[in-house]
Amino acid sequence: MNLNQVTVPSTDVRRSIDFYRSLGLVLIVEDLPSYARFECPEGDATFSVHQTNQPPGSPGVVVYFECEDLDSTVARLKERGLRFESESQDQPWLWREAILKDPDGNVICLFRAGENRKNPPWRLKRN
């Protein structure tokens, strides 16, 4: 099994397109006003937004995008005017993370985990 894509709700798909393109995602499907789909600039995963009448409730959706150089990515996005909820910081689970929200309040976690993403020291052993 392989994860194909994640879809998040949006009250304004056009606004979401602008936001996710500013993160570096590549728009591959645009069906306004109801849907947009993106390719990630690395790997094979896709990401989409779909029209909804109200934003998600709290805590809502959390989407993780891994960045090779997190600190440089955060600095570049700040220069583009994006506002972060938290700065890049090392976490006890051995990831470095920075948090921002999309225009609908969905939480976006930009992170760098390297080998610890799938193989942390506490990973369960397969039987």
Q: What does the H/E/C string look like for 13-24?
A: HHHHHHHHHHHC
Question: What is the mean pLDDT of each successive set of 10 residues along the chain, which is 127 residues long?
Answer: 86 97 96 96 92 80 92 96 96 96 93 93 87
Give domain limits for the chain.
5-117
Q: What is the CA radius of gyration of the chain?
A: 15
Structure tokens, 4: 């194909």
> What is the pTM for the complete model shown?
0.89
Which CATH number is associated with domain 5-117? 3.10.180.10
CA-based diameter of the chain, in Å? 48
